[in-house]
Amino acid sequence: MPKVAFIGAGSTVFARNLTIDLLGFEALRDSTELALMDIDEERLRTSETVARRVADHFDSRAIITATSDRRAALDGADYVVTMMQVGGYRPATVTDFEVPKRYGLRQTIADTLGVGGIMRGLRTIPVLLNLCRELEELSPDALLLQYVNPMVPNCWAIAEATTIRAVGLCHSVQHTAGQLARDLGIAPDELDYLCAGINHVAFYLRLEHGGEDVYPRLHEVTPPDWNRVRYELLRHFGYFVTESSEHFAEYSPWFIKDGRDDLIERFNIPLDAYLERCEEQIDTWHDLRAKLERGDEIEIRPSAEYGARIVNAIETGEPFTFNGNVPNRGRLLSDFAEEAIVEVPVVADANGLTPHSVGPLPPQLAALIRTNLNVHELVVRAALDGNREHVYHAAMLDPHTGAELSLAEICRLVDELLEAHGELIPAALRA
């Protein structure tokens, strides 16, 4: 009976979706144990209620437990799903936006790159490493399904500092493929593609319908208002990037500039978008809890997430191919070092996970990705080596931050952020 532990299960909507996906598989419906873990007791109990409602819908005999004891959840786990937000919306995420604003540095999402992504990585890596050390003791053969951002530095640190098998999972590849299919007037399941790069900056190297290259047609599409940044990148670099326009706008030096409202308007960039989304997610959670208290029905709908499909593939042996974030061992992408974390096609089956080699990328794409990998690597070095200087270096080399601020301003900003986050940051980096 496979045990699946949800760490950060208070993310009720995401936990609900994964529970629906898991119990939607007949092979897992009556043979799975779900261990829900969160430090927020109220959210944990709401997630437990949702999970039990989902189990009732499927007439499932799955075992469902809820605990605030992480070791109890991890003990005997075969699969561990990480879905937490270290520091929460307040104060950590708000700090990542509000402090840089005082320097004229605006962000959209701030969870992957930029000074916000750097700080989130420094907060999150120690928590993930502590979790992995517990796994090494309690369930050393478990597979970690790692959903927490910033994906690349988190997975890089896990691969370098622990022995735990892990794969980083995101929904940007499959969601963007669906968006492109709609833009092209193609059924989503008829769009064939090969996608590779790093998380949030991977590219569709092949994009076909019925054996026909559809890139010429994509170049003729009128960009949707919410997706102008990515279509602009397609125009200049020749390939479509996976993560959303609001994300990519802050991964590069071209779209968000202090005093350039014309760019913000032209590319329809939603500044502070993640703050608004967090507020919406909080409202959604309260609405869901109210529905549960009223006894309303829960919507049961499968998601496009990979996690449950991976579990089903390994447990049943039925292969499933997806894009996963894994170490570049064996130079899966030959443009980057072996220790880097890359996003490439991976096959899950009874043998576990098998990443597929893609080889070299078009040189302009490899060069663009390196500007992001530089920052990720320095975040890992800062976290693992306790080297505060590398926090400054990461921010200095960040494409958006470096395009906006002087070296001295970046140092002052980093100092202020590290102080504001306090004990959420490792002690060696606060000195």
Say how far apart CA 177 and CA 186 lie, in whole Å. Answer: 10
**Is residue 15 classed exposed, middle or buried when 0-12, 13-18 and 19+ CB atoms within 10 A define those classes?**
buried
Pairing type for strands 33-37 and 3-7 reads parallel
Contacts for 159 with CB less than 8 Å, ≥ 6 apart: 166, 327, 339, 341
Give me the phi and psi of 355, to 5 degrees please: -70, 150
Q: How many CB atoms lie within 10 A of CB 155?
A: 29
Contacts for 176 with CB less than 8 Å, ≥ 6 apart: 204, 240, 242, 243, 244
Identify the helix (H) or strand (E) that includes residue 171.
none
- The alpha carbons of the chain give a radius of gyration, in whole angstroms, of 21
Beta bridge pairs of residue 344: 324
Residue 171 is among the residues annotated as catalytic for this protein: yes
* Cβ(267)–Cβ(249) below 8 Å: yes
Give just the sign of the alpha carbon dihedral 171, 402, 411, 340: positive
Say how far apart CA 230 and CA 233 lie, in whole Å. Answer: 5
* Cβ(112)–Cβ(154) below 8 Å: no
**Is residue 268 classed exposed, middle or buried when 0-12, 13-18 and 19+ CB atoms within 10 A define those classes?**
middle
Which one is catalytic: 171, 219, 236, 390?
171
Residue 345, preceding peptide bond in cis (omega within 30° of 0): no
DSSP 38: -
Return the residue matching tokens 């279509």.
231
Which residues are known to be catalytic? 171
